[in-house]
Amino acid sequence: MNPQIFREYDIRGLVEQDLAMVLTDSGGMQEETTILGVPCLTLRENTERPVTLKTGASTLVGNDKNKILQEARRVLDGGGKTGASPPFWDGRAAERIVKTISDWQPNPA
C-alpha cells in the first residue's frame, strides 16, 4: 500500500483510487469521505462537521500517535467506518429550496 497525497477538494483523486482510508485534518475531506464511504481518521480534537462522526465515515483521533496507529490498524483489519449519507445529503437541496419558497410566496390575486 502506497500513501497518496491529495490536495483539498481533489475529489477526482479520491474517486479514482481504491482507498483503504484517509487521514486528514480537513472538514471538507471529512464530508467527501463520508459521501464516498471511505473510512476517515480525522487528526483533530474536534470538528465543525459532527454529522461525519455520527452518521458518516469519520473518526476523531486527535494528534495522539498511539490512537492514530490503533485506529489505522483497526481500519486496515476491516473495522473502519464507512458510514452512510447523512439526511439531506442527497443532492436535492435546490428542489427543496424552490418548493419552500414557492409554498411561502402568497398566491397572486
CATH number of the domain bearing residue 83: 3.40.50.2000
For 24, the 3-state DSSP assignment is strand
Please give the tally of structural domains in the chain.
1
For 23, the 3-state DSSP assignment is strand
In a domain, 46, yes or no: yes
In a domain, 1, yes or no: no
pLDDT of residue 96: 92
In a domain, 35, yes or no: yes
Task: Please give the chain's pLDDT, 109 residues, in tens.
Answer: 566 665 555 666 666 667 888 899 888 888 888 888 889 999 999 999 999 899 888 999 999 999 999 999 999 999 888 888 888 888 899 999 999 998 887 666 5
Q: What single string gives the DSSP state of each residue in 60-97?
A: E-TT-HHHHHHHHHHIIIII-----PPTT-SS-HHHHH
Range(s) of the domain holding residue 38:
11-104
pLDDT of residue 60: 94
pLDDT of residue 108: 60
In a domain, 71, yes or no: yes
pLDDT of residue 64: 94
pLDDT of residue 104: 83
In a domain, 109, yes or no: no
In a domain, 4, yes or no: no
The closest of 78, 80, 86, 84 to 61, measured between CA atoms, is: 80
In a domain, 5, yes or no: no
In a domain, 6, yes or no: no
The closest of 33, 38, 27 to 75, measured between CA atoms, is: 38
pLDDT of residue 1: 58
- DSSP conformation class of 32: H
